[in-house]
């Protein structure tokens, strides 16, 4: 057998480096992937509350769903904790057959145990409880039953189309399964010490620094190729870039910036992933705060803004304009041509193409001939801050002065949910049109005062939106569409609902931005990365470092 020896040059070089105290980089020493997010810290690692990119980047390492979006392609569902499922003829009962031998991660002094239907029922019951989940509204009217150890039934009050039902069971938000014994044992500690069934096991959380996970040796889809994943919180872009160049980091989150993408692609040994479906950026106007209760003020803001200018600021290779709440390519979205044609037919301007003279006249008619000033909180995260800086500059051209107080990302989310902003920029993707319309436009979802307060920052369904002295709402349209089983009819109602929202100018759809991450070229995701709902590349059992 031929013996392969390192060259004398390499041996001498390593010896010199070690003599001078220079150690090989951490990325070269072990098989741990290190990823850094544009954030100061976690918000919550309980999967039924986690909503920020940095939170989801951790929870999706640790938790699984009954079904999952196909890695790298959200257009298809594949089995996960459930090997198969079927629906009754009347559409009211869905039956899921669980894998056998799925092991819950160990925690404290507990070695873990086999996941059964009892855990699944417990998890969905918890997800449906508004005191235990931010996604409770998604599971209203559902009953969950354990038929036997490996069979679970979900019984609906009303049948749902597959288009609306399966996303609720998938590996996203309330669909991520939490194990009963671990949750009950850890209590509030579960939020910072999560226990699931995913490919990686939580090991340690270092506040404002990182979360450390190790591979799940008993993972049901096979032992992960990585020894572990460390998730770092680094709001400073320069620090993330330096970490990637020095090989102390393997993957970093980038800002919504075309120059950054071009800069990273020029670096030796670095690959850039630009992938969808992307987050739709929308401005929401708080009608509970004057003068945003006046439709003329809200329309003035719409006419003051150029979608194309915002998109150019972000980068045309990574962003595109959107013209409705539901973004392309999600079922139910409106194209520019649809919006323009409908406006011509009805002699209404649903498009609000930039016209700052019209914006100034509307402000004057509303009692602000010299313009107006408002103050908002804004996150330090680049994906929000970069487009919002351009938005502020554009509004200033029309006499609208927006004073910005910059806060960290968790504080921003707290403040907007505490109803502290007059204008809210919210960038997100939701799994279905129903989820998005419900969370942002149903009266139950009004922040602070709604029955199930989530992200209705406009107070739509509580305030007069069109100025006729009556409360305006789209609750009926949302609920009608939800009950339809024909996908074509559902999409038609969703579109009609969005024309109302455009007419009332309660919000202004701006852009859809794809996600941007840079990685060392020795990192392989293990799948073709086209789209993902978790806002970052999904690290799973197939991910590897060469």
d(CA 385, CA 400): 18
pLDDT band at 432 (very low <50, low <70, confident <90, very high): confident
Cis before 451 (ω within 30): no
Q: pTM of the entire structure?
A: 0.71
pLDDT of residue 14: 35
Give the tens place of pLDDT for each residue, 353-388. 999 999 999 999 999 999 999 999 999 988 899 999
pLDDT of residue 341: 96
Give the tens place of pLDDT for each residue, 104-155. 999 998 999 999 999 999 999 999 999 999 989 889 899 999 999 999 999 9
Compute, in degrees rounded to 10, the torsion defined by CA atoms 236, 241, 246, 250: 100
SS3 544: strand
pLDDT band at 277 (very low <50, low <70, confident <90, very high): confident
Average pLDDT value for residue range 470-476: 97
pLDDT band at 29 (very low <50, low <70, confident <90, very high): low
pLDDT band at 78 (very low <50, low <70, confident <90, very high): very high
pLDDT of residue 97: 98
pLDDT of residue 18: 34
Radius of gyration (Cα) for the chain, nearest Å?
A: 25
No. of H helices and E strands in the chain? 17, 19
Q: Provide the 10 A C-beta neighbour count for residue 151.
A: 16
């Amino acid at each position: 057998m031929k013996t392969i020896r390192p060259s004398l040059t390499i041996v001498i070089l390593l010896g010199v480096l070690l003599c001078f105290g220079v150690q090989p980089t951490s990325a070269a020493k072990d098989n741990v992937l290190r990823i850094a997010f544009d954030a100061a810290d976690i918000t919550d690692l309980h999967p039924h509350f986690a909503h920020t990119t940095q939170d989801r980047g951790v929870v999706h390492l640790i938790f699984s769903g009954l079904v999952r979006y196909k890695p790298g392609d959200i257009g298809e569902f594949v089995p996960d904790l459930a090997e198969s499922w079927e629906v009754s003829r009347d559409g009211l009962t869905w039956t899921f057959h669980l894998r056998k031998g799925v092991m819950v991660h160990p925690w404290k002094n507990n070695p873990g145990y086999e996941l059964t239907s009892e855990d699944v029922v417990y998890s969905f019951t918890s997800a449906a409880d508004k005191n235990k989940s931010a996604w409770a509204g998604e599971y209203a009217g559902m009953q969950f039953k354990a038929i036997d150890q490996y069979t679970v039934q979900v019984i609906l009050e009303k049948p749902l189309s597959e288009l609306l039902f399966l996303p609720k069971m998938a590996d996203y938000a309330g669909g991520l399964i939490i194990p009963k014994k671990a949750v009950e044992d850890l209590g509030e500690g579960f939020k910072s010490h999560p226990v699931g069934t995913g490919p990686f096991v939580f090991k340690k959380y270092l506040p404002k620094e990182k979360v450390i996970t190790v591979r799940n040796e008993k993972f049901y889809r096979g032992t992960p190729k990585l020894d572990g994943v460390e998730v770092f919180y680094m709001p400073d872009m320069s620090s993330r870039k330096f970490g990637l160049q020095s090989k102390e980091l393997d993957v970093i989150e980038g800002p919504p910036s075309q120059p950054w993408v071009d800069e990273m692609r020029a670096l030796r040994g670095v690959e850039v992933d630009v992938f969808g479906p992307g987050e739709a950026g929308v401005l929401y106007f708080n009608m509970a705060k004057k003068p945003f209760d006046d439709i003329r003020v809200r329309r003035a803001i719409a006419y003051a803004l150029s979608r194309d200018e915002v998109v150019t600021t972000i980068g045309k290779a990574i962003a595109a304009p959107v013209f409705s709440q539901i973004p392309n390519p999600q079922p139910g979205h409106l194209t520019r041509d649809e919006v323009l044609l409908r406006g011509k037919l009805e002699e209404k301007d649903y498009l609000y193409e930039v016209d700052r003279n019209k914006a100034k006249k509307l402000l004057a008619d509303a009692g602000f001939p010299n313009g107006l000033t408002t103050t908002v909180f804004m996150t330090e995260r680049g994906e929000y801050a970069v487009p919002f800086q351009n938005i502020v500059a554009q509004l200033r051209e029309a006499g609208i002065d927006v004073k910005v107080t910059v806060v960290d990302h968790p504080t921003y989310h707290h403040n907007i949910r505490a109803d502290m902003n007059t204008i809210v920029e919210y960038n997100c993707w939701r799994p279905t049109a129903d989820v998005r319309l419900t969370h942002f436009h149903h009266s139950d979802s009004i922040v602070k005062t709604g029955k199930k307060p989530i992200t209705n920052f406009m107070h739509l369904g509580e305030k007069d939106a069109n100025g006729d002295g009556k409360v305006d709402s789209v609750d009926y349209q949302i609920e009608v569409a939800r009950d339809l089983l024909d996908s074509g009819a559902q999409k038609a109602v969703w579109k009609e609902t969005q024309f109302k929202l455009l007419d009332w100018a309660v919000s202004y759809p701006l852009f859809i931005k794809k996600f941007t991450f840079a990685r060392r070229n020795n990192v392989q995701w293990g799948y073709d990365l086209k789209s993902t709902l978790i806002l970052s590349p999904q690290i799973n059992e197939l991910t590897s470092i060469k």
